[in-house]
Amino acid sequence: MDLTHRFAEYRALVTGGGSGIGRATVLRLLDEGAAVAAADVSAPGLEETRELASGAGTADRLTTTVLDVADEESVRDGAGAAVEGLGGLDVLVNAAGILDSAHTETMTLAFWNRIIGVNLTGTFLVTRAALPALLATGRGVVVNFSSTSAAFAHPYMAAYAATKGGIQSFTHALAAEYSKRGLRAVCVAPGSIDSGMTRAPGLPEDLDADLLAKLSPALGKGFAGPETVAGAIAMLASEDGAFITGTELRIDGGTHM
């Protein structure tokens, strides 16, 4: 199959497009022919993504938007302009997210709210803003970001894990609610992917290393690059994933089996 044209005539909005898995997804969808709007809170991150797209000769189909997914107004304006610029929307990838770790017994409400705000509320706000366009196209797909931490215990990450479990439930409800209108909604659940997030997971200094020991990939090659997840997202968002909705795809090198 010629993958260079799998997304020809497709329009995609990717949040978190300024780093890691979101950036790899932007570049992959561009490579496969899509017009892509990359959104991120980091302007320098988006600039770097643009440079990489330029190097690949695909930057002419890329637009970038600085927005904060946790801020209702910023999402309304930023996502609205991005979708308008694309002239519609077929694929939404909600990759923006933050990870921070803490002992639950001393976790502050501000810490909890910050993570819920970006990961869970941010996924809701961007999805809500994109839904009219995704429903109008008749082949809309939402790819949300869960994590292995949603279904498997990760110590010190209670807030993060709660957002990822919530995103899975949100995605299932979305898939059911709009299934008759041609919308698919799926989650990827990555683990052990090399990115800005996993290089600085903010683990407490006085952690119990035994509790973290089981969090390494069984495949024995260490962490994988973000392109690994981008390839799976491209499959899920394309016609190859046409019969897949309301479910998760775990991509963690067998860390959890």
Ligand X SMILES: NC(=O)c1ccc[n+]([C@@H]2O[C@H](COP(=O)([O-])OP(=O)(O)OC[C@H]3O[C@@H](n4cnc5c(N)ncnc54)[C@H](O)[C@@H]3O)[C@@H](O)[C@H]2O)c1
Supply the residues annotated as catalytic: 160
Closest to ligand X by CB, 45 vs 155, is: 45
By CB under 6 A, residue 144 contacts ligand X? no
Tokens found for residue 121:
């509320």
Site track 58-77 with ligand X (rule: CB under 6 A), x = hit = ----------xxx-------
| Residue 18 makes contact with ligand X by CB under 6 A | yes
The single-letter code of the amino acid at 10 is: Y
Q: Within 183-222, which residues bind ligand X (CB under 6 A)?
A: 190-193, 195-198
Nearer to ligand X, 66 or 107 (CB): 66
Helix (H, G, I), strand (E, B) or coil at 239: helix
CA distance 54 to 66: 19
Which of 10, 12, 14, 16 touches ligand X by CB under 6 A? 16
Is the CB of 137 or the CB of 198 nearer to ligand X? Answer: 198
By DSSP bridging, strand 141-145 and strand 91-94 are parallel
The 3-state DSSP composition of the chain as helix, strand, coil percent (nearest 5) reads 50, 15, 35
202, 234 Cβ separation under 8 angstroms:
no
224 binds ligand X (CB under 6 A): no
Q: In 16-109, at which residue ranges do the beta strands (DSSP E only) sit?
A: 35-40, 62-66, 91-94
* Beta carbon nearer to ligand X, 136 or 192: 192
Cα separation of the two ends of the chain: 31
Residues that bind ligand X (CB under 6 A): 15-16, 18-22, 40-42, 45, 68-70, 95-99, 118, 122, 145, 147, 190-193, 195-198, 226
